[in-house]
Structure 1
Amino acid sequence: MTRLYEYQIYGVNTLFELDDQQRIRLLHLSSAPLPEAEDISEQRKHASVLVELQLTGFNQPGHKGTRLSNTMPGAALTFQHIEQQEDRLSITQTYTKACSLTVTTHIQFFPGIRIVNVWNEVTNTGTEPFGIEYISSLHIVGVNSTGSSLPYTANHLYLPHNSWTGENQWQKYSLPELGLLYALDGEKLQDSTKVISVSNHSSWSCSQFAPIGILENDYTGMTSFWQLESNGAWHWELSDAALGKELALRLSGPTELHNHWWKKLQAGASFSTIPVAFGAIPGSWQEAVWELTRYRRAIRRPNEDNRYLPIIFNDYMNCLSGDPTTEKELPLIDAAATAGCEYFVIDCGWYSDGYWWDNVGEWQPSEQRFPGGLIEVIQYIKSKGMIAGLWLEIEVMGINSKLAASLPDDWFFMRHGKRIIDHSRYHLDFRNPQVRDYATSVIHRLVQEYGIGYIKMDYNITTGIGTDQYSDSMGDGLLEHNRAYLQWLDDIFAAYPELVIENCGSGGMRHDYQMLARHSIQSITDQTEYVRNGAIAAACAANVTPEQAAIWSYPLREGDREEVIFNMVNTMLLRIHQSGHLSELTEDRLLLVKQAIDVYKDIRSYIPMGRPVWLTGIPLIDDEWFSFGIETADRLYLAVWRTHSLNDHFSASCSAQSIQSVAQLYPNPAEDENTSYHVHGNTIHFNFKQNKMARLYEIDTSYNEAR
Structure 2
Amino acid sequence: MPEIVFDENTRSWLIRTAATSYALRLAEDDSPAHVYWGPALTPAQLSDVLPGSGSRWDSFNDPDEGLDELAADGGTRHWTPALQVRFADGTRALEWRYLSHDIDGGELRVRFRDRHYPLRITLGYRVPAGTDVIERWTELTHDGTDDPIEVVRADSASWVVPLRPDYRISHVTGRWAAESQLLREPVPHGETTFGSRRGITSHHANPWVMLDDGEATERHGEVYSAALAWSGSWRITTTRSSNGRVTVTGGFGQDGVVHRLAPGDTLTTPVFAGLYTDGGFGAASRAWHAYTLGHVLPHPGELRPVLYNSWEATGFDVTETGQRALAEKAAALGVELFVMDDGWFGARSGDHAGLGDWQVNREKFPDGLKPLISEVRRLGMKFGIWVEPEMVNPDSGLYRARPDWVLHHPHRTRSELRNQLVLNFARPDVAEWAFGWLDALVGEHEIDFLKWDMNRPFSEAGWPADSDPDRLWVEHTRAVYAIMDRLRDGHPGLRIEACSGGGGRIDLGVMARTDQVWTSDNTDALDRLVIQHGYGQVYPPRAMSAWVTDDPNFITQRSTPLRFRFHVAMAGVLGIGGDIVKWSEEDLGYAREQIALYKEIRPVVQHGSLYRLVPPTTDGVSALQYVAADGGRAVVFVFRQAAHFPTSERPVRLDGLDPAARYRDEDTGKVWHGAALLAHGLFPGLPAGDFASVVIRLTKL
TM exceeding 0.5: yes
Assess, with a 3 A threshold, how the Cα gap between structure 1 residues 595 and 214 changes in structure 2: closer, same or farther: same
Provide the C-alpha distance between the structure 2 equivalents of 1:509 and 1:543, rounded to a whole number of angstroms. Answer: 16
Q: Which residue of 2 aligns with 1:705?
A: none
Cα drift, residue 380 of structure 1:
1.8
Cα drift, residue 455 of structure 1:
1.5
Q: Which residue of 1 aligns with 2:27?
A: 19
SS at match of 1:103: strand
CA offsets per residue over residues 660-705 of structure 1, 9 Å max, x none?
Answer: 346376xxx79xxxxxxx9794312334310022221123467xxx
Assess, with a 3 A threshold, how the Cα gap between structure 1 residues 122 and 253 changes in structure 2: closer, same or farther: same
- The number of aligned residues is 653
Q: Which residue of 1 aligns with 2:184?
A: 172
- Contact conserved, 1:557 with 1:584, CA < 8 A, in 2? no
Q: Which residue of 2 aligns with 1:346?
A: 340
Task: Work out whether 1:136 is the aligned partner of 2:122.
Answer: no
Q: Which residue of 2 aligns with 1:673?
A: none
RMSD: 2.9
CA offsets per residue over residues 566-620 of structure 1, 9 Å max, x none?
Answer: 1111221311121212222222211111111111111222234312210113x35
Q: Given residue 248 of structure 1, which amino acid in structure 2 is its aligned partner? A: T
Q: Given residue 81 of structure 1, which amino acid in structure 2 is its aligned partner? A: S
CA offsets per residue over residues 464-517 of structure 1, 9 Å max, x none?
Answer: 373344567665321111112211211111001111121111111101111111
- Contact conserved, 2:573 with 2:606, CA < 8 A, in 1? no
In terms of mean alpha carbon deviation, does 393-402 or 475-484 score higher?
475-484
Provide the C-alpha distance between the structure 1 equivalents of 2:569 and 2:83, rounded to a whole number of angstroms. Answer: 48
Cα drift, residue 378 of structure 1:
2.2
Q: Which residue of 1 aligns with 2:78?
A: 63
Provide the C-alpha distance between the structure 2 equivalents of 1:139 and 1:594, rounded to a whole number of angstroms. Answer: 50
Instruction: Trace 1:160-199 onto structure 2 (pairs within 5 A).
Output: 160-175=172-187, 179-180=188-189, 194-199=190-195
Task: Work out whether 1:85 is the aligned partner of 2:93.
Answer: no
Assess, with a 3 A threshold, how the Cα gap between structure 1 residues 374 and 268 changes in structure 2: closer, same or farther: closer
Q: Which residue of 2 aligns with 1:159?
A: 171
Instruction: Trace 1:649-660 onto structure 2 (pairs within 5 A).
Output: 649-655=649-655, 656=657, 657=659, 660=662
Assess, with a 3 A threshold, how the Cα gap between structure 1 residues 557 and 380 changes in structure 2: closer, same or farther: farther
SS at match of 2:353: helix
Cα drift, residue 350 of structure 1:
1.4
SS at match of 1:542: coil
Provide the C-alpha distance between the structure 1 equivalents of 2:297 and 2:31, rounded to a whole number of angstroms. Answer: 38
SS at match of 2:509: coil
Q: Which residue of 2 aligns with 1:613?
A: 611
Q: Given residue 660 of structure 1, which amino acid in structure 2 is its aligned partner? A: R
Q: Which residue of 2 aligns with 1:185?
A: none
Assess, with a 3 A threshold, how the Cα gap between structure 1 residues 493 and 44 changes in structure 2: closer, same or farther: farther
Cα drift, residue 347 of structure 1:
0.7
Q: Which residue of 1 aligns with 2:263?
A: 267
1:303 to 299, 305, 316: 299
- Contact conserved, 1:561 with 1:589, CA < 8 A, in 2? no
Assess, with a 3 A threshold, how the Cα gap between structure 1 residues 476 and 307 changes in structure 2: closer, same or farther: same
Provide the C-alpha distance between the structure 2 equivalents of 1:697 and 1:244, rounded to a whole number of angstroms. Answer: 50
Q: Which residue of 1 aligns with 2:624?
A: 628
Provide the C-alpha distance between the structure 2 equivalents of 1:53 and 1:477, rounded to a whole number of angstroms. Answer: 24
- Contact conserved, 1:12 with 1:115, CA < 8 A, in 2? no
- Contact conserved, 1:162 with 1:206, CA < 8 A, in 2? no
CA offsets per residue over residues 405-446 of structure 1, 9 Å max, x none?
Answer: 11151x222224658443121211222232223222322332
Instruction: Trace 1:313-462 onto structure 2 (pairs within 5 A).
Output: 313-317=308-312, 319-351=313-345, 352=347, 354-371=349-366, 373-407=368-402, 409=404, 411-416=405-410, 420-423=414-417, 424-462=419-457
- Contact conserved, 2:94 with 2:114, CA < 8 A, in 1? no
Provide the C-alpha distance between the structure 1 equivalents of 2:609 and 2:93, rounded to a whole number of angstroms. Answer: 40
Provide the C-alpha distance between the structure 2 equivalents of 1:659 and 1:567, rounded to a whole number of angstroms. Answer: 33
Provide the C-alpha distance between the structure 2 equivalents of 1:664 and 1:629, rounded to a whole number of angstroms. Answer: 15
Cα drift, residue 214 of structure 1:
0.7
- Contact conserved, 2:635 with 2:697, CA < 8 A, in 1? yes
SS at match of 1:628: strand
Cα drift, residue 49 of structure 1:
2.1
- Contact conserved, 2:84 with 2:151, CA < 8 A, in 1? no
Provide the C-alpha distance between the structure 2 equivalents of 1:463 and 1:560, rounded to a whole number of angstroms. Answer: 32
Assess, with a 3 A threshold, how the Cα gap between structure 1 residues 395 and 104 changes in structure 2: closer, same or farther: same
Q: Which residue of 2 aligns with 1:112?
A: 130
2:69 to 27, 46, 50: 50
Gaps of 5+ in 2: 1-8, 55-61, 86-91, 670-675
Assess, with a 3 A threshold, how the Cα gap between structure 1 residues 17 and 383 changes in structure 2: closer, same or farther: closer
SS at match of 2:302: helix
CA offsets per residue over residues 629-667 of structure 1, 9 Å max, x none?
Answer: 2222233211111222315535421234478346376xx
SS at match of 1:170: strand
SS at match of 2:22: strand
**What's the TM-score once normalised by structure 2's chain length?**
0.86
Provide the C-alpha distance between the structure 1 equivalents of 2:158 and 2:326, rounded to a whole number of angstroms. Answer: 53
Assess, with a 3 A threshold, how the Cα gap between structure 1 residues 511 and 69 changes in structure 2: closer, same or farther: closer
Cα drift, residue 222 of structure 1:
2.1
In terms of mean alpha carbon deviation, does 219-228 or 41-50 score higher?
41-50
Provide the C-alpha distance between the structure 1 equivalents of 2:339 and 2:266, rounded to a whole number of angstroms. Answer: 43
- Contact conserved, 1:31 with 1:114, CA < 8 A, in 2? no
SS at match of 1:415: coil
Provide the C-alpha distance between the structure 2 equivalents of 1:105 and 1:694, rounded to a whole number of angstroms. Answer: 49
Assess, with a 3 A threshold, how the Cα gap between structure 1 residues 420 and 51 changes in structure 2: closer, same or farther: farther
SS at match of 2:293: helix
Q: Which residue of 1 aligns with 2:502?
A: 507
Provide the C-alpha distance between the structure 1 equivalents of 2:470 and 2:40, rounded to a whole number of angstroms. Answer: 37
SS at match of 2:528: helix
Instruction: Trace 1:514-525 onto structure 2 (pairs within 5 A).
Output: 514-525=509-520
Q: Which residue of 2 aligns with 1:694?
A: 693
In terms of mean alpha carbon deviation, does 275-284 or 447-456 score higher?
447-456
SS at match of 2:331: helix
Task: Work out whether 1:481 is the aligned partner of 2:476.
Answer: yes
CA offsets per residue over residues 9-38 of structure 1, 9 Å max, x none?
Answer: 443423223333333312123344365235
Provide the C-alpha distance between the structure 2 equivalents of 1:401 and 1:322, rounded to a whole number of angstroms. Answer: 16
Provide the C-alpha distance between the structure 2 equivalents of 1:24 and 1:533, rounded to a whole number of angstroms. Answer: 44
- Contact conserved, 1:62 with 1:70, CA < 8 A, in 2? no
Cα drift, residue 137 of structure 1:
1.2
Provide the C-alpha distance between the structure 2 equivalents of 1:646 and 1:474, rounded to a whole number of angstroms. Answer: 57
Q: Which residue of 2 aligns with 1:246?
A: 245
Instruction: Trace 1:674-689 onto structure 2 (pairs within 5 A).
Output: 681-686=679-684, 687-689=686-688
Cα drift, residue 225 of structure 1:
0.3
Q: Given residue 463 of structure 1, which amino acid in structure 2 is its aligned partner? A: F
- Contact conserved, 1:626 with 1:640, CA < 8 A, in 2? yes
1:282 to 265, 278, 284: 278
**What's the TM-score once normalised by structure 1's chain length?**
0.86
Assess, with a 3 A threshold, how the Cα gap between structure 1 residues 51 and 38 changes in structure 2: closer, same or farther: closer
Cα drift, residue 346 of structure 1:
1.1
Q: Which residue of 1 aligns with 2:588?
A: 590
